Structure 1
Amino acid sequence: MFGFTRIPSITTTTLAQRLQQHLGQLIDVREPTEYRAGHIAGAKNVPLSRIDQYTPKNPSDLYVICRSGARSKRAAKALSKRGIAVTNVAGGMLAWTGRTVR
């Protein structure tokens, strides 16, 4: 075993369904300026550069999103290494078709 960590991913469509059912917490790992330009309602902004200091209130059903999915995957791996169950949102905000807030 080489220590590879497989991070589960979901689509933005599945994320929308889960958020509508109030299932889970969403972390947006983009920079604050990106987040302020438009984010999913209820998402907490924790930039990738600060993800190592972040501890979720409820470590279950944690979803991570960024612009395209690359930063969120890195954040998810970092959180997973700390024993936090996390799911990456594939495609990120570029794939999100739902409403955003500023």
Structure 2
Amino acid sequence: METLIIIAIVVAFFVWRMKPAKGTKAISTSELKTILNDKDKYFLDVRTPAEFKGRNIKQFKNMPLGSDFSKVPKDKEIVVICQSGIRSSQACKQLKKLGYEKVTNVRGGMSAF
């Protein structure tokens, strides 16, 4: 019984971490493919430089989680991706706190692409 409670807590924690920030849009990787050439969007990859070097989408700029996101343009919609969607969700929350209005998280990240 204790094991089930612990598993439930762990699952709840990961679900909470994946929950998008208030006002953040979430899209699937198939939706991402349809907008990759949109010049009104800024594509941000928050994985480590090594992850980015190993495999990336050319439209995305690499700025690892923990970077100074204030350098990201505020006049465009920001589309954020990571490996699984967890770090990009955290980055979206940070961007919203910095005053970015149009922020989109890619669900599932590169693992789903």
Q: Shorter-chain TM-score: which interval?
A: 0.7 to 0.9
Contact 1:72 1:89 in 2 (8 A): yes
CA deviations 1:70-90 (Å, max 9, x no partner) are 000000010011111210000
Residues 7-66 of structure 1 deviation map (CA, whole Å, 9 limit, x = unaligned): 21001111110113444111000000000001001210000021x444223532210000
In structure 2, what is the equivalent of residue 63 of structure 1? 79
CA–CA separation in structure 1 for the residues paired with 2:22 and 2:38: 28
In the comparison of the two structures, how many residue pairs are matched? 92
- Determine what percentage of the aligned residue pairs are the same residue: 38
In 2, distance between residues paired with 1:53 and 1:66? 15
| Structure 2 gap ranges (5+) | 1-20
**Is it true that 1:8 corresponds to 2:25 in the alignment?**
yes
Q: 1:33 to 1:11 in 2, by over 3 A?
A: same
1:42 — aligned with what? 59
TM-score, normalising length: structure 2? 0.73
CA RMSD of aligned residues (A): 1.7
Q: Which runs of 5+ in 1 are unaligned?
A: 97-102
Normalised by the length of structure 1, the TM-score is 0.80
Tell me which structure has the larger Cα radius of gyration.
2
Aligned to 1:25: 42
CA distance 1:82–1:47, shift in 2 (3 Å):
same
The structure with the largest helix share of the pair is: 2
